[in-house]
Structure 1
Amino acid sequence: MEFTRVGKVGLRGAASLCPFHAGHRNYNSILIVPNGGQWGEWGKVESCPKGHAYGFSLKVKTEREQGVIDDDTSLNGIRLHCSSGGVVQSTVGPWGEWTEVKECPRGYLVAFALNVEAPKGPADDTAANNIRFSCGDGVILEGESPTFGTYGQWSKRCTAGAICGIQTKVEAPAPGDSTALNDVRFFCCD
């Protein structure tokens, strides 16, 4: 089977919406950033059954120097840890290990910024590499992942409530150069 890279599709900026259905929850806004990677397909929206996300963990392939060992992908997945118990995730790439949970000391996740490496042409691409979240009380949490790119601008904050759902854009394994996770959207619930 041959995989091809797909051009960027999806929302631009931030969208505030009337209540809509995400997974099995209603949400009031979607948090997005403009610097997501261009390859892959959007997975299913998944959301906490109740409550909000108080923390996160990442699935990362941990090369220390880009290009040294075969194909670098860095960020492969993001899990939200829910106040109602359990975790939710959208599509996840096949490489790497899950990091320890980063938790808001008080409150929930309300905004994010994504670290992305710009396309490198024929060289080894990694796309999304790391993420930062802002907690409702202003505390900033950052993932533990190799950082080959740069952080873009922060998303808007949840207009009400906090993050309760996730949707990731992941490139399937491809011969030669795979990027895994490219972009992410978060859904806010009251």
Structure 2
Amino acid sequence: MDLSTSAVVFLFLTYHLCEAGDRNYNAVLMVSNGGKWGEWGKIEFCPKGHAYGFSLKTKQFSEGLSGDDTSINGIRLHCSSGAVVRSTVGPFGVWLEAKKCPKGYLVAFTLKVEAPQGLGDDTAANNIQFSCGDGTVLEGESTDFGTYGQWSKRCPTGAICGIQTKVEGITAVDTTGLNDVKFFCCD
């Protein structure tokens, strides 16, 4: 590695460790089917420990011609330390009851996303499933639009300890809410 490549790698790692609030992580879990709208929020971490559960903020199906569906507007991680953390959250919907691993922690996920609808009502992310360390699969309660994509990689060691969401704020015509999410793994 030459000097300029070393400097870039050093700056990248320094930026991410500072952004992470000094919590070291060993992997970032992502999926390829996330929605295209919105901005990435701040990375948030469990202060200690790992996530053993999650809850969704969802807006259910809107009826009538003027209804604008957004489905998922936020995801919270429930941490073994007792903390509940979240990244950016959209303005619509209500928080639903937490889903929790019977044993262990969250280690992988898959996202249910609706493809862009053209002139129709876009919703982007509509549901999520997590795999627990013991193999249990937990699924959120949200709308049925879209399809699940491929599973993320599994945390190489440890479990999920942090989250970063991509959310579209209120727009004049067609708001989508949560579009994509990344999870961070800690030992």
Pair in the same fold by TM > 0.5: yes
Q: Give the counterpart of 2:73 among 73, 76, 91.
A: 76
**What is the alpha-carbon distance in structure 2 between the residues aligned to residue 77 and residue 145 of structure 1?**
11
CA contact (8 A) 1:71 1:124 kept: yes
**What is the alpha-carbon distance in structure 2 between the residues aligned to residue 58 and residue 99 of structure 1?**
6
Who is 1:152 aligned against? Answer: 149
Runs of 4+ in 1 over 4 A off after TM superposition: none
Who is 1:30 aligned against? Answer: 28
CA contact (8 A) 2:112 2:147 kept: yes
Who is 2:5 aligned against? Answer: none
1:114-133 to 2 correspondences below 5 Å: 114-133=111-130
> What secondary structure does 1:78 align onto?
strand
CA contact (8 A) 1:53 1:83 kept: yes
- 1:122 CA displacement: 1.1
Q: Deviations over 1:87-136 (max 9, x none)?
A: 00000000000010100000000000000000001110000000000000
CA contact (8 A) 1:64 1:146 kept: no
Who is 1:40 aligned against? Answer: 38
Unaligned stretches of 5+ residues in structure 2 = 1-12
Give TM-score scaled by structure 2 length: 0.88
- 1:23 CA displacement: 3.5
Unaligned stretches of 5+ residues in structure 1 = 1-17
Rg bigger for which structure? 2
- 1:144 CA displacement: 0.4
> What amino acid is aligned across from residue 162 of structure 1 in structure 2?
A
1:107 partnered with 2:104:
yes
Q: Give the counterpart of 1:163 among 160, 165, 178.
A: 160
CA contact (8 A) 1:45 1:165 kept: yes
Give TM-score scaled by structure 1 length: 0.87
Name the one with the larger helix percent.
Answer: 2
Could you tell me the percent identity over the aligned residues? 72
> What amino acid is aligned across from residue 177 of structure 2 in structure 1?
A
CA contact (8 A) 1:24 1:47 kept: no
